Structure 1
Amino acid sequence: MKHTQFAHTLLAASIALALPSLARAQEAEKVKNEKQDYVEQIVVTGTASGQSVRKVDASYASSILGEDDIKKLAPKSTADLFKAIPGVWAESSGGVAGANVFVRGFPGGGDAPFLTVQLQGIPVYTPPTLSFLENSSMFRIDETIDFMDALRGGPSSVVSNGQPGLTTNFMLKEGGESTEGRVKYTTSDYNLQRVDALVSGALAEDLYFMIGGYVQQSPGIRDAGFDSEKGHQITINITKVLDNGKINLFTRNTDDHGAWYLPTPLVAGVDNSYTQLGTLNRQASIQYGPEGESEAFDFGEGRGWDGSISGGSINLDLDGDWAFVDRFAYTSGNADTLGLVPNGDAVALSTVADNGQSAIGAVTGNTYDGDTLVQQIGRWVVRKQIESFTNDLALTKKGDNFSATVGLFTSSFSANDWWSIGNHSYHVIAPGGENLTGIACNDNEDSCGWNYDINSTGDGNTRALYAAFEYQLSDTLSADIGVRQENHEIEYTVDEGLDGVINKAVQYDENDTAITLGANWQLQEDMGIFARYSEGSKMPYFDDFRDNFGAYENGEDLIKEVTQFELGYKLAKSNYYLYATGFYNEVKGDTFTRVPGGPTEVLTNQAYGVELDAAYYNDTGFSVTLNATIQNPEITDSATNEGNEAQRQPGWQLRLTPSYEFEMVNYVLNLYGTLSAVDDRYADNENTVVLEGYEKLDIGLIIQHDNGMQFEFAMQNVTDEDALTEGDPRNPTSPNGRFILPRSATFSVSYDF
């Protein structure tokens, strides 16, 4: 009911505000897909001053994805969009939330430890990753997004929250003098039903608004037999233009979740459309705690975000030579995870049935014979409540040939967790395969596997003073230096076992210093070379202490030290550009824990490689974009895996997107396709399981009419490739794997006014 009410309210507001402009819309000029002059592309992420710069002038690697780029990618989740960023390997096969994102050979076993997502230039949540939560899970893409910046390495270890890996910054659309808007309906071959709406305009002189959002539901691209994906979102953005700057305020409220897609048994009858979740097993009771308390859960909740991100910014020019920027955000909500997680191999029912022959379906009462394949499924429940307040201010002094900035970043954040993971029970291997009776451990006479239950609460504070200085040595040569001094505090307690006893308590207070040095040689206005050296760190958060509590008690600071070198070439003409960046990374002190509560491996990783980011278009309507990464990620220090390749990171990958735009009567048509190719990867640091490389083809067609109507068709994974993104991260020797998403097609119709 609340979805329907939301849709009615949003549509009614859009239509009411649209009426005064319908006449103007009918007189609008013919729709044209005008190309941007690539020389004038700007980036807004990475500068200590918070001011935008031309991409071709920047002394670091950054990518820009505009509204049209996002539309052609047709991402199924936020992390799906990251595949278009050079140097990034994103595994978005787990559904609308809970992606795994790897950056330039940086180590990781899951989630996204070296990714920060920003909205309007401020992190949505300061910790980049907690167990069962990475930043992209709290963010949904819709029509309110104007563009996204993606900063890799470079000065990122000094600015914002000091993320040394990847920072993606989403910028919202703003209103203007005229009232404009969009209403859009989307459906798909998997019965997606979605309505987006957006309207913007002026509230008063120099005061502008934008409001937009969506409501959607579907059974999921992997059909669960019920609406396993549901959600809505609404965003309000208010902008006040001043004589000497701008004030911005925004709020974004989201309630959106989807099924958690997990590795599946690699046996006959299981393909890339398979999901364990279904009508026969979505509701189940689990036991937890020392007394074996029982509680029923709906695992159809999956993974998602029910919360809000609100904030704003103040940008002021003070007497021409001074600039002041303050950005702030408050985030609060629940990021829960419920799912059916495989544990071990598929086996014949006869090997585990009490009578050695058959077992009974717990829901249907059907009898399954001994040849039926079954597998242990863990019914995992993670309740996670988070909150944060973040502020980032900077004061900049500009001279004739220099720029000096001093800034203060502060963030207070918390996470309260309740977990019961494990809860294994044998299920039939079939979509929505049901639980069975007549198996001892299923019927609580034995144990089907391990359990790990916790109740934890954590609070953290980060305070960082940073400074940057840039000097123009000549008309073509400039150099810069940045320094960050950070204090990081964590208060954290854990009750393992849900017995009311606190067996892990953390009081942590450490300081760290980051530095970046850069030089930029602008050979011409549209061509240059840059070099950069950076030292940064990834500070420990709550889960780092839980998984490495012994090391913490022994006095280790648990800080992951990151060193990076970059050498880049930049060329931007009016109709093409080429950015090539060579990089070298070293990460010391990385810790990898295969299963929460299990043993931890300490690693040092190194990686070197080249990123390519290029685009071209001509007057005939043809255009093409290319991004590619070639890298060699290696474990250089490990008790058992030294010399091996870092897990789950391809040696090379590329994405090639040609498109052709042409006119037909009163229509402008854009036909495009994307070819993705990925190298082999190892599923584990031991390098025992190979995930084979693959190629994937996506296609699409956009049709625009001069009356504001637009039609979009997109098909992803046209050949229905069934490649794997991961094996079984909890037990690499088990023949389980998670497929890339199957072939799907979406169709949208929208009206711009």
Structure 2
Amino acid sequence: MNRFVIANKRQVLKSVLLFATINTAFSAAAQDDDQLEEELIVVGTAGGAGINKQDVSFAVSALNADQIERFAPKSTADLFKAIPGVWAESSGGVAGANIDVRGLPGGGDAPFVTLTLNGAPLYGTESLSFFEQSSIFRVDETISSVEGLRGGPGAVFGKGEPGLTVNFNLKRGKEETEGRIKYTTSDYDLQRFDGVLSGKLADNTYYMIGGYFQQSPGIRDAQFTSEKGEQFTINLTHEFDNGEISVFTRVTDDHGQWYLPFALNAGHDAGEFSQLGNATRLREIQINANGDTEVFDFGRGRGWDGSVSGANIEFDLGGGWTLRDKVGLTSGDANTFGFVPSGGAVQASALSAVIGGPVTTLGGQTLAGDDFVQTYGHWVVLKDLRSFVNDLSLNKTFADQHDVTFGIYQSSFSANDFWSIGNPIAVHNTANGDILDGVTPDNIAAAGGDAGFNFGLASAGDARTTAFYLADSWQVNNDWRIDLGVRQESIDISYVLDSGPGFPDGSRDLATDLDDDQVAYTAGVNWDVSDSAGIFARYSKGFLFPHFDNVRENQLEVNDIDQYELGFKYGAGVLDLFATAFFNTNDSFDSVVGGNVASSSFKTEASGLEIDAVATFGALRLSLSGVVQDTEITESTIATNVGNAVLRQPDFQFRFEPSYDFQLGDFSGSLYAAATFVDDRFGDLANTVDLPSYEKYDVGVQLHGQSGIFFQVHADNISDSDGITEGDPRNANSPNGRPILGRSVRFSIGYDFNAS
């Protein structure tokens, strides 16, 4: 079937789905005029003022603490799968995800994703090499809710994110003292303890403290405790007659093995295989041109050792004036220690012919001819991050019609890096395989594999941004509202680089300063069809400034993003629905992969329909979220890529979640399940590597007793699906891939208490 026919089939499917969704919703609206359940949305509003979910004129999803618990995410990025329009590859472990949104180009890290805590951005730019923001954030019992904004006003407010902004809200203390303790274990020997306590500290002063500590060998067992972590969070709030001040800090030391693509042609267990093991955990590596060496522990994988702190200030100044300030400070190390494949696996018989004898390991094992061998490299990336942000806004309401906000956003952020990547060695390609004795990567290459490479650097980057934004929400009448916003932002980047053959060689390759300024704007209109139904339309123009890695690669163009949205929302009776059609264009995105994959600069466009719906029939609740989309490369420096789809993002993905509430003696229970359906994708921009479609199924049960005790059993990927999320990003021809994690079961027991 040719590409033209496939594309038209997709467009027909989108049209049918959009028509059916809106028709169903209008039919329901005609039968029931009850108001949409009130839910305050902070993300995407000027100064973080907040707005009722029924009144939003943009695409946003929200999850409360109970929904997060039922989702049972294995990492922060795993939770993003609940947000329609977002493609989150969380198969890499607790950190180091690849996250894309609405067909905007990416394929590595998260170039269009910003995370905020209580409205304050975690870091000044979306992502860097070996860093995306979910890597420095951990979900635990201190989180009250999470909001996911796609496109829309995100280009103007907050950090000015044109893609996806995910805001996490911390729990707050109240008049009553309450808390939770919870213990979790699993069939892969997870040991985790969570706790949270909140209440009144003094008159008008409230507290929340909580955190966790945990460890496990991981689902992909590396023969040692490869996942370890602890986190502590405190949130203090003092209320005044005309406002409040809230301050918080979160200290985290959490890391886990970095799961990487591996040979798919060597008969491994796709859900549990780990090449890393005791034999390859420690490696002595040269770190400078003087010949100095250091032994690194690759059991630390990827993670975060640092803190995220901040403050929220809000005061009613009288006369319709409100002052708000959101402050954030992030500081710590987001290091990467990876055991990374280079090229494909080859049989030992081919290697034996090259070296003229049997293939043995350092442990003394002689390999059979049909055993596999492969080149792997120990990659070290030390990344010291710091970011300070301040979003100060002044709001004025005029005659209950115009809600005008003027804001100043300032940030300074830095990244100091040390890399030693490559460092290839020859290994026995089996679970926790040993190093080969007397065999070099060049021998592997001569047998049909790959010799690997060496590259190192030391760099220091500092950046400062200043933005001014102005917004007006004009309530024209009871049914119509117009939202306008504009943002002017400037950036100043200073960057110094020293690179070399596996380590910085002491030379200065680059010392440069870059400054630029851009304007973003948005306009939206909201029509309340009835008390329970509404339609919105929005246009937004955003941008993506270059960051430190772009400066290193001389990719200095600003990426402009145009987005158009048409949405329908309904909430009454049995149905709660958001449906958003979108179209976006990206005018300059640069890919840098390395290896055998050529870099390119290209433009894209994407269109699609996002669905976020819940239907409730008594004790039965049915949820559906997902997206149907079509992406296309419209221009490229590699001419043969024009007309191709954006890499790694599926044309459709849906998550269907049924649940049923029941009573069992003194326990209130819920039986729930989830079915995820993912279309096939291409693993490269040339669209030559097909990543097949797959399904994933989860089930669970929760029991909450009147005494406060509760239980949860959650079975993830019960069919043991081995869906592939990516191929080999550095060598499209290698039969390597990274599957999702295999079947696992977790059990939790806990106690909710109220001391008042």
Q: Verify same fold: TM over 0.5.
A: yes
Residue of structure 2 in register with 1:118 after alignment: 116
1:102 is aligned to 2:100: yes
1:238 is aligned to 2:241: no
What is the CA RMSD across the aligned residues, in angstroms?
A: 1.8
Residue of structure 2 in register with 1:32 after alignment: none
For residue 359 of structure 1, give the secondary structure of its aligned residue in structure 2. Answer: coil
What do the CA deviations read for 1:461-519 (whole angstroms, capped 9, x no partner)? 01100101121222211112111000011000110111111112220010000010111
Residue of structure 2 in register with 1:274 after alignment: 273
| Amino acid aligned to 1:332 | S
Shift of 1:599: 5.3
| Amino acid aligned to 2:379 | W
Greater Cα offset, 315-324 or 742-751: 315-324
1:154 is aligned to 2:152: yes
For residue 721 of structure 2, give the secondary structure of its aligned residue in structure 1. Answer: coil
Whole-Å separation in 2 of the counterparts to 1:294 and 1:444: 25
Whole-Å separation in 1 of the counterparts to 2:574 and 2:311: 35
| Amino acid aligned to 1:572 | G
Shift of 1:441: 4.3
Matches within 5 A, 1:164-179: 164-179=162-177
Shift of 1:595: 2.2
Whole-Å separation in 1 of the counterparts to 2:82 and 2:143: 16
| Amino acid aligned to 1:298 | D
Q: Is the 8 A contact 1:105 1:632 kept in 2?
A: yes
Residue of structure 1 in register with 2:409 after alignment: 409
Residue of structure 2 in register with 1:204 after alignment: 202
Shift of 1:213: 0.3
Whole-Å separation in 1 of the counterparts to 2:335 and 2:225: 18
Q: Is the 8 A contact 2:97 2:134 kept in 1?
A: yes
For residue 459 of structure 1, give the secondary structure of its aligned residue in structure 2. Answer: strand
| Amino acid aligned to 2:313 | I
Residue of structure 2 in register with 1:54 after alignment: 52
1:622 is aligned to 2:628: no
Whole-Å separation in 2 of the counterparts to 1:313 and 1:295: 43
Residue of structure 1 in register with 2:330 after alignment: 331
Matches within 5 A, 1:494-643: 494-497=497-500, 498-547=504-553, 549=554, 551=555, 557-573=556-572, 575-595=574-594, 600-619=599-618, 621-640=619-638, 641-643=641-643
For residue 312 of structure 1, give the secondary structure of its aligned residue in structure 2. Answer: strand
Whole-Å separation in 2 of the counterparts to 1:169 and 1:440: 48
Q: Is the 8 A contact 1:465 1:486 kept in 2?
A: yes
Q: 1:720 to 1:177 in 2, by over 3 A?
A: same
Residue of structure 2 in register with 1:463 after alignment: 466
Shift of 1:442: 7.6
Shift of 1:612: 0.6
For residue 39 of structure 1, give the secondary structure of its aligned residue in structure 2. Answer: coil
Shift of 1:309: 0.5
Residue of structure 1 in register with 2:8 after alignment: none
Shift of 1:368: 2.7
For residue 161 of structure 1, give the secondary structure of its aligned residue in structure 2. Answer: coil
Whole-Å separation in 2 of the counterparts to 1:596 and 1:320: 62
Whole-Å separation in 2 of the counterparts to 1:38 and 1:95: 37
Whole-Å separation in 1 of the counterparts to 2:361 and 2:442: 11
Residue of structure 2 in register with 1:685 after alignment: 685
Q: Aligned match of 2:484 in 481, 485, 490?
A: 481
Residue of structure 2 in register with 1:418 after alignment: 418
Greater Cα offset, 352-361 or 231-240: 352-361
What do the CA deviations read for 1:63-91 (whole angstroms, capped 9, x no partner)? 00111110111000000000010100100
Residue of structure 1 in register with 2:671 after alignment: 671
What do the CA deviations read for 1:312-334 (whole angstroms, capped 9, x no partner)? 11011111501111000111000
Residue of structure 2 in register with 1:5 after alignment: none
Residue of structure 2 in register with 1:90 after alignment: 88
| Amino acid aligned to 2:249 | T
Q: Is the 8 A contact 1:412 1:460 kept in 2?
A: yes
Q: Is the 8 A contact 1:436 1:442 kept in 2?
A: no
Q: Is the 8 A contact 1:109 1:594 kept in 2?
A: no
Shift of 1:224: 1.1
Q: Which runs of 5+ in 1 are unaligned?
A: 1-35, 552-556
Shift of 1:50: 1.8
Q: 1:443 to 1:348 in 2, by over 3 A?
A: closer
| Amino acid aligned to 2:613 | A
Whole-Å separation in 1 of the counterparts to 2:573 and 2:140: 29
Q: 1:721 to 1:279 in 2, by over 3 A?
A: same
For residue 360 of structure 1, give the secondary structure of its aligned residue in structure 2. Answer: coil
| Amino acid aligned to 1:615 | V
Q: Which runs of 5+ in 2 are unaligned?
A: 1-33
For residue 48 of structure 2, give the secondary structure of its aligned residue in structure 1. Answer: coil
| Amino acid aligned to 1:50 | G
Shift of 1:524: 1.5
Shift of 1:134: 0.2
Whole-Å separation in 2 of the counterparts to 1:599 and 1:502: 26
Residue of structure 2 in register with 1:9 after alignment: none
For residue 137 of structure 1, give the secondary structure of its aligned residue in structure 2. Answer: helix
Shift of 1:303: 0.2
Shift of 1:545: 1.2
Shift of 1:351: 3.1
Matches within 5 A, 1:318-397: 318-353=317-352, 355-362=355-362, 364-397=363-396
What do the CA deviations read for 1:641-680 (whole angstroms, capped 9, x no partner)? 0000000000011001010001121110100000100111
For residue 221 of structure 1, give the secondary structure of its aligned residue in structure 2. Answer: coil
Q: Is the 8 A contact 1:285 1:294 kept in 2?
A: yes
Whole-Å separation in 1 of the counterparts to 2:445 and 2:287: 15
Shift of 1:290: 4.3
Residue of structure 2 in register with 1:264 after alignment: 262
| Amino acid aligned to 2:310 | G
Q: 1:220 to 1:37 in 2, by over 3 A?
A: farther
Provide TM-score, normalisation by structure 2. Answer: 0.92
Shift of 1:293: 4.3
| Amino acid aligned to 1:253 | V
Whole-Å separation in 2 of the counterparts to 1:167 and 1:546: 26
What do the CA deviations read for 1:532-578 (whole angstroms, capped 9, x no partner)? 0111101111011112x2x5xxxxx4211100000001111154211
| Amino acid aligned to 1:561 | D
For residue 649 of structure 2, give the secondary structure of its aligned residue in structure 1. Answer: coil
Q: Is the 8 A contact 1:421 1:452 kept in 2?
A: yes
Whole-Å separation in 2 of the counterparts to 1:112 and 1:654: 21
For residue 94 of structure 2, give the secondary structure of its aligned residue in structure 1. Answer: coil
Q: 1:438 to 1:541 in 2, by over 3 A?
A: same
| Amino acid aligned to 1:537 | F
Q: Is the 8 A contact 2:266 2:345 kept in 1?
A: no
Shift of 1:609: 0.6
Whole-Å separation in 2 of the counterparts to 1:653 and 1:570: 21
Shift of 1:221: 1.3
Shift of 1:585: 0.7
Whole-Å separation in 2 of the counterparts to 1:51 and 1:373: 59
State the identity as a percent: 48
Whole-Å separation in 2 of the counterparts to 1:218 and 1:680: 32
Residue of structure 1 in register with 2:221 after alignment: 223
Q: Is the 8 A contact 1:703 1:712 kept in 2?
A: yes
What do the CA deviations read for 1:440-470 (whole angstroms, capped 9, x no partner)? 4489999932111000000000110010112
Greater Cα offset, 119-128 or 187-196: 119-128
Q: Is the 8 A contact 2:468 2:489 kept in 1?
A: yes
For residue 608 of structure 1, give the secondary structure of its aligned residue in structure 2. Answer: strand
Which runs of at least 4 in structure 1 moved beyond 4 Å after TM superposition? 288-293, 441-447, 596-599
Q: Is the 8 A contact 1:656 1:676 kept in 2?
A: yes
